[in-house]
Amino acid sequence: MIEKKIYLIRHCKATGQEPLAELTNEGREKALELVSILEKLHVDHIISSPYKRALQTVEPFSESKGIPITIDENLQERVLSADPMEDWLEQLEKTFIERDLTFSGGESSNDALIRIRKVLEEVFEKKQMQHVGIVSHGNILSLLINHYDSTFGFAGWQQMKNPDIFVLEKVKGVIYINKMDH
């Protein structure tokens, strides 16, 4: 018997990476398409990153179903470094292997994972939450997915789309995670 389903949703396509970056026109269209998908999944709770692109991804569904969005700071994207890095992609790949690697003003993979796992632990504790949509960002979501599926690493992150949905199911105390086709 499935105890809980958590839908990990990567935000739709955005204009940039900064916290106030908005969805592109394509991203807005995809956010509207998510409404019927999330309805079919019977999502009854929404928790989102405070970043504008994450909120805009789930607002059409929230408004359509009258489900409030709970904002959780722990879902904001991981900052790799506060300083610009020309080789940021190579450095990001290293952080999938060297989990405690930290750059100036940045957050290690392990620290980001601890942060997002707090959100999941709270959801698991709340019995009334059965079908939860969690809206966040590619890098931090990929760290969480990797925690449950060690085969999902840097290459998995590179293949993620905007939006993308992964379902995390807890069955008899065991957690399974799978990518959804949508």
Give me the pLDDT at residue 87, please: 97
Query: Is the peptide bond prior to 60 cis by the omega test (within 30 degrees of 0)?
Result: no
Give me the pLDDT at residue 182, please: 74
Tokens of 45: 């709770």
State how far the Cα of 15 lies from the Cα of 26, in Å rounded to an integer: 10
CATH number for 85: 3.40.50.1240
Better-predicted residue by pLDDT, 4 or 8: 8
Q: Which domain holds residue 14?
A: 2-179
State how far the Cα of 116 lies from the Cα of 88, in Å rounded to an integer: 22
Task: Of 153, 149, 114, 144, give the one whose Cα is nearest residue 9.
Answer: 144
Give me the pLDDT at residue 3, please: 78
| Residue pLDDT, tens place only, 38-93 | 999 999 999 999 999 999 999 999 999 999 999 999 999 999 999 999 999 999 99
Q: Angle formed by the axes of helices 109-125 and 138-148, to 10°? A: 70
Tokens of 108: 């290690």
Question: Does the pLDDT value for residue 145 go beyond 70?
Answer: yes
pLDDT over 90 percentage in the chain = 90
Average pLDDT over residues 107-125: 96
Q: Is 92 helix (H, G, I), strand (E, B) or coil?
A: helix
> Over the chain, what is the mean pLDDT?
95
Q: What is the pTM for the complete model shown?
A: 0.95
At 1, the pLDDT band (50, 70, 90 cuts) reads: low
Q: How many domains does the chain have?
A: 1
Q: Angle formed by the axes of helices 25-40 and 52-65, to 10°? A: 40
10: left (phi over 0), alpha (psi -120 to 50) or beta: beta
Question: Does the pLDDT value for residue 163 go beyond 70?
Answer: yes
At 2, the pLDDT band (50, 70, 90 cuts) reads: low
Average pLDDT over residues 17-24: 96
The answer to whether the beta carbons of residues 1 and 161 sit under 8 Å apart is no
Question: Does the pLDDT value for residue 102 go beyond 90?
Answer: yes
